[in-house]
Amino acid sequence: MEIWLTTIILVLTLYFLISEKIRVDLTAIGIMVLLVVTGILSPKEAVAGFSNPAVVTVAAMFIVSKGMMKTGGVEFLGRKVISLSKGSFHVALAIILLSVALASAFINNTPVVMLFIPVVMTMCCEFGLSPSKFLIPVSYASILAGTCTLIGTSTNIIISDLSVASGLPGLDMFELAIIGVPIALTGITILLFIAPKILPALANPICQLQDQDHQKYLAELHIPATSPFIGQRPCILFKEKYPRLDVLELVSNSHIFHPEREKKNIMPGDILFVKGSLNDLVELLNSENVDLPPSERGLSLGATKDASMVVELIISPQSSLRGQRLSDSDLATDSAINIIAVKRSNLHMSERQIQDVRLKVGDILLIWCDSSKLETLRGNSDYLIVEDVYEEIVNKKKAWWSILNFIAMIITATLGLADIMTCALTAAFLMIITGCLQMRDAYRSLQGDVLLLIAGTIALGTAMQKTGTSQLYAETFLNLFSEFSPGIILGAMIALTSISTQILSNNATAVLLLPIAISTAAGIGVDPKPFIIGICFGASACFATPVGYQTNLLVFGPGGYSFQDYLKLGIPLNIFVVAAATILIPIFWPF
């Protein structure tokens, strides 16, 4: 009875995931509810997936990835890819897929994919490309490369350990590479030519956050006596490091100079009237080379208890500030609020100084204040608060911290000094404690639908193993091929493993099917090594569903994919890997 109930739940799960009649996170919750209500799992067993290392690891990697983005830690990678590709879609796709594959052959592919997601998104904004054409291939390339070495995926390590426990030899570091590398390279070639034709061309959701001209602010920057800018020409001051920052006027001793027309070097106490993007202005203020005119220090984007927040205030239609000079407003006189810049539609302002601006409906003030002050601002009807602007800030002062943190995580995991979950959690903690990321950003980076889906499918996998459903399916499937040659049986085993890993995790699939594979080889009187190798490739042939592997889940949201997108590209790739492994394995590991 329990096997039938589990089968019905499995069928319902696949139906809702494929049809998307309801959200994937609701489907995941429904799985756990049904398993408990039917008595197949206890409440504790049903929610045990939330403490599973896979869920914790993915959650921690969301935080680590966010820290890399917030500090510009991945920007150099994106710029390299952008410069090498020169706007060519196919060149960019080839460089990215080969880079991902090379890294994934030696380190856990989850952080590799997490690292390349923002690189892809940035590059696509730069050239007007669609990230949905890139992200599934990135995930698939990382999976293909994982079959090239023993440490390419944890599944290979588990299979090697189980083989030794069964009294058989384990796998060498590069034993799988003899067919893993050709399969991976062929698979990547397929992705290069087929993926652009099959995958949808969806809009990039983050492009609106890029620094475009219409998103520039007007600001005044005070030059302190210690600034290295003293003695320089204002028209060429920021050309190299801040090419998008324009110096409109130089105010010196109450006189106004136009940098493009008049030769005037910067002196201590001068004020620069500039137009620039959010990131350029914030980075300049953090560099301590300039101040705000009412000189205020202390802008901190780190992990302190009451860290600084950069937000936009939009003057509302009913605001009492309409028509007031900015210098006379409550905002300017409040010592807890620091006005960085002003933005107005088309940036046409007649006033010569920011403080003289008379506020109008729709004017946007860029301010920074402590997070505690922000709470008091929310109740004021004079303006609307836009907090999402904080998401755009790149705190480059912490870039090296985030890069070193990430490298340390990779090295520690690769050397086996700690498991990937411990490494990821430590890296997430260090991202926050070193000021690369604030706690509020860490919470926002967690993608709840992805985490719920992982936990729900883990519960379903537990139910299938507990009730014997998985073993029944496996043995029934193999009985159909009992009279065939060893090569056909090997192909059936690899295919079964590939089908199972679309539903269960690849590690669970390997643990379940490896004993059956070894006993099947013994039963027909052949060497079990080809079957052990077959389980390695079959367990990694998990391309057909987003739940087949966690990297598929990672790109699900950023790419805006549907369940069908994985089926259209993943099924042909699954068939290729299964067929190639079936043909090649007996050649190098004879029966």
The per-residue pLDDT for range 2-55, each reduced to its tens digit, is 888 888 888 887 777 767 677 778 888 888 999 999 888 889 888 887 887 767
Q: 89 is written with which tokens? A: 């879609």
Distance CA 289, CA 286 (A): 8
**Which pLDDT tens digit goes with each residue over 87-109?**
678 888 898 899 888 888 876 67
> Which residue in the block uniquely carries the two structure tokens 């408990």?
36
Q: Categorize the per-residue pLDDT at 552 as very low, low, confident or very high, splitting at 50, 70 and 90.
A: confident
**Which pLDDT tens digit goes with each residue over 411-432?**
887 677 877 678 888 988 988 8
In a domain, 39, yes or no: no
In a domain, 522, yes or no: no
Residues 337, 342, 345, 348: is their CA dihedral positive or negative? Answer: positive
DSSP 357: P
Q: 445 is written with which tokens? A: 């980076």
In a domain, 296, yes or no: yes
Distance CA 296, CA 243 (A): 26
**Which pLDDT tens digit goes with each residue over 286-314?**
665 777 665 444 444 444 445 566 777 77
**Which pLDDT tens digit goes with each residue over 332-346?**
777 778 777 777 654
In a domain, 261, yes or no: yes
Domain that holds residue 288: 213-392
The secondary element (H helix, E strand) that includes residue 203 is none
Strand ranges, E, within 171-307: 217-222, 246-252, 255-257, 271-276
In a domain, 331, yes or no: yes
Per-residue pLDDT, 573? 93
Per-residue pLDDT, 491? 92
Distance CA 539, CA 428 (A): 29
Per-residue pLDDT, 298? 46
In a domain, 366, yes or no: yes
Q: Specify the CATH number for the domain of residue 317.
A: 3.30.70.1450
- Whether residue 435 has pLDDT greater than 70: yes
- pTM value > 0.85: no
In a domain, 21, yes or no: no
Q: How far is CA 482 from CA 170, 356, 470, 509, 518, in A?
A: 27, 88, 19, 21, 14
How many domains does the chain contain in total?
1
Q: What does the mean pLDDT of the chain come to?
A: 78
Q: What angle do CA 517, 520, 522 make, to 5 degrees?
A: 110
Residues 500, 477 contacting (CB under 8 angstroms)? no
Distance CA 487, CA 585 (A): 9
211: region left, alpha or beta (phi > 0 left; psi from -120 to 50 alpha): beta
**Which pLDDT tens digit goes with each residue over 140-182?**
999 999 888 887 777 888 788 778 877 888 888 888 999 999 9
Q: Spell out a b/e string for 344-381, using b for 16 or more CB atoms within 10 Å of the CB, else e.
A: beeeebeeebbbebebeeebbbbbbbbeebbeebeebe
* Helices 529-540 and 506-523: angle between axes, nearest 10 degrees: 150
In a domain, 281, yes or no: yes
- Whether residue 66 has pLDDT greater than 80: no
